[in-house]
Structure 1
Amino acid sequence: MHKILAIITLKLKETLKSPLTLIFLFVMPIVFSFIFGSTASDSKKPTVAFILEPSQGKLDQEIFQILEKNTKFLWVKATERDAKDLVSEEKVVASVKVANQLKSHLKENKEIFDVTVYKKTEEYAVLSPYLKETATIIYQINQGVKKQKSVSLSNALNKLNESGTISLIEKNQDDQASQQPNLIPLGFTIMFMMFAISSSVSSIHLEYKDYTWQRLLSSPIHKIYVLLGYLVAYFLLGWIQLGVLLTVLSVFFHVY
């Protein structure tokens, strides 16, 4: 065991003593994360087109106001033709339309939103559960309206919108609104970790080319110990790199 530890210690010291290696492992990913991560933090909100024809009634207007309460997206009204063009040109995440036979859909527990997407992006993965959550609220209100025949669904939604009692903003355990993490710095961390893995493999190849590897294997140490020493050393180096970079990301970019 002490032979493996000796190889691990030797490789870690040799690697971490090099200024160029430290720059490659830690400085470069942090600098790239700050440059591109700060730029991305000012990016525009993803846009969603809500199909609202002039002939459509008050009910669709009220549903649109409920959807607008999610401030993570920019909600725009559009005709069906315009919405189709926006989706095909990938200018919007998706187009959302209230089902034509809404009362029938509510009665039969069918989907009340017709959603059109060009491709299922990361933004759509956030949008989809929000639409389902909104549909659930409308279903619940509709059930209450059924019991009180004097109130229509559109009036009930209007009163709910005016009261401001709907809160569809995600909150954490501290009752504070949660924010979508910036994933670009995390992407750079993974990218530079892959570079480090490639560099580790190439370093073994260079030792083989320079006959250092052959001399190690011809020594009294068993070849399995040599292999384990190298593998564990590079494994620990990867964890050190990941630990340092994630600490920086958690402090400056709130990525956990």
Structure 2
Amino acid sequence: MKKIIAICGVELSLIFKKPQNYLMMFAAPLLLTLVFGGLLGGNDDKVRLAIVDQDDTLLSQHYIRELKQLDDMYTFQTMSKSKASEKLKQKKIAGVITLSRTFQEKLEKGEKPELVFSHGPELTGAPVAKQYAESKLAKLNIQVTAAKTAAEAAGESWKSAYKTVIAKDHRDSAPAVKRESLNDKKEGKGVSDTASRAAGFSILFVMLTMMGAAGTILEARKSGVWQRLLTASVSRAEIGAGYVLSFFVIGWIQFGMLLLASHWLFGISWGNPAALIVLVSFFLFAVVGIGLMIAAHVRTPEQQLAFGNLFVIATCMVSGMYWPIEIEPKLMQSIADFLPQKWAMSGLTEIIANGATITDILGICGILFAFAAVTFTAGLKALRT
């Protein structure tokens, strides 16, 4: 055990001797969290959108009321077309939803009205907002169809049926349905953009660091370090265990420092410490296994770094580290199920938002353990050959 710890200590000292490593490990993820989560996100996580109602009819007004129901994600303001265009240019709003003059006419004919969604390039959540608007429009179309059917049966106009049956406000007669956000159980708030970015960038940069660290195995083999250790009565298993332990410790030092720094700088509460430790540990073992697999199939540390970084960046994109995974195509979402980042992010969200304990994330930890077992076994087997 002393030999394993000694090898681990040497590798840690080599990593932390290089000043540029501190930039990659700590400064870069915190800076990106500040920029994308803090400054761009602002103090209000809601997206401000304007609605231009050119139709001004029963159905267009009801559609606007339906849109405004999701008030914890979007803030909608009804305004004129000229005023909305001006505010969009000034970046006081993120986008504009314009209802055409034939909005109600199209719905009466059973056709889909035209919705024009204008926004700037900085609105990364535009597909989600557009999908939300279209889902409300689809619901309204169903309601109109139902009202027309009911009107025919009752021998009255569809507008009367719509007003009395569908457009009636049921809030006084039925209990309100509260849309509970992820963190309502603890603080009455959802997961902030800053917390989400901090978790995503922490996962990304920890993986990048560990991909580079895994390349030290190749460097040690190439420079003859392994051969010298073997002649010094150190077994191959002890050498491998020392390196693996160093990768794991490096990952935890980086992740731990990022958690503490983001808590102090951005006020992020990371939830249950025990659940966090277990989840991150399983994830780090899975990442170490991936690093070993890549190291076993390349010849130089440079190749390890190049292929490792390419793998990490590409898979983090698919796993929803940069944007909500819900806006991705179904194929990409299916691929994400086979990547550890997706499950690590899901676990962190549960811990941060819902105050999940170890028992609450046992399923996610089991999946990460399976990732670690498969990648470790494959990586070690390939390294022996």
State the TM-score, normalized to the length of structure 1.
Answer: 0.63
Q: Which residue of 2 aligns with 1:48?
A: 49
CA deviations 1:69-115 (Å, max 9, x no partner) are: 11121111122233234334443232112243233246444255332
Higher RCO (CA < 8 A, seq sep 6+): 1
1:150 aligns with 2:163: no
More off after superposition, 72-81 vs 97-106? 97-106
- Identity within the alignment, %: 12
Q: Which residue of 1 aligns with 2:117?
A: 115
1:159 aligns with 2:172: no
**Structure with greater Cα Rg:** 1
Please state how far the C-alpha of 1:121 moved relative to its aligned partner: 3.2
- Looking at secondary structure, tell me which structure has more helix per residue: 2
- Aligned CA RMSD, in angstroms, stands at 5.1
On the 8 A contact 1:47/1:92 being kept in 2, the answer is yes
Please state how far the C-alpha of 1:160 moved relative to its aligned partner: 3.2
Q: Which residue of 2 aligns with 1:57?
A: 57
Unaligned residue ranges in structure 2 (runs of 5+): 264-268, 273-348, 355-385
Cα–Cα, structure 1 residues 193 and 228, in superposed 2: closer, same or farther, change >3 Å?
A: same
Unaligned residue ranges in structure 1 (runs of 5+): none
Task: Tell me, in whole angstroms, the C-alpha distance in 2 between the residues paired with 1:230 and 1:111.
Answer: 65
Task: Tell me, in whole angstroms, the C-alpha distance in 2 between the residues paired with 1:178 and 1:111.
Answer: 35
CA deviations 1:212-252 (Å, max 9, x no partner) are: 94343455479x97996676445534653587567986418
On the 8 A contact 1:98/1:114 being kept in 2, the answer is yes
Tell me the amino acid that sits aligned with residue 190 of structure 2.
Answer: Q
Task: Tell me, in whole angstroms, the C-alpha distance in 2 between the residues paired with 1:158 and 1:17.
Answer: 69
Please state how far the C-alpha of 1:144 moved relative to its aligned partner: 2.0
Task: Tell me, in whole angstroms, the C-alpha distance in 2 between the residues paired with 1:168 and 1:135.
Answer: 20
Query: Following superposition of structure 1 onto structure 2, how do residues 83-232 of structure 1 map, counting pairs within 5 Å?
Result: 83-102=84-103, 103-105=105-107, 107-111=109-113, 113-119=115-121, 121-146=123-148, 147-148=150-151, 149-152=156-159, 155=163, 158-160=167-169, 170-171=179-180, 179-182=190-193, 183-190=196-203, 192-193=205-206, 196-197=209-210, 200=213, 213-220=223-230, 232=244
Between the two proteins, the alignment pairs up a number of residues equal to: 242
CA deviations 1:14-52 (Å, max 9, x no partner) are: 46689x79xx69x958x959x957886733522001003
Cα–Cα, structure 1 residues 13 and 42, in superposed 2: closer, same or farther, change >3 Å?
A: same
Q: Which residue of 2 aligns with 1:81?
A: 82
On the 8 A contact 2:110/2:145 being kept in 1, the answer is no
Task: Tell me, in whole angstroms, the C-alpha distance in 2 between the residues paired with 1:47 and 1:166.
Answer: 28
Please state how far the C-alpha of 1:178 moved relative to its aligned partner: 7.7
Task: Tell me, in whole angstroms, the C-alpha distance in 1 between the residues paired with 2:79 and 2:118.
Answer: 13
Cα–Cα, structure 1 residues 233 and 111, in superposed 2: closer, same or farther, change >3 Å?
A: farther
Task: Tell me, in whole angstroms, the C-alpha distance in 2 between the residues paired with 1:190 and 1:229.
Answer: 23
Task: Tell me, in whole angstroms, the C-alpha distance in 2 between the residues paired with 1:106 and 1:246.
Answer: 55
Q: Which residue of 1 aligns with 2:280?
A: none
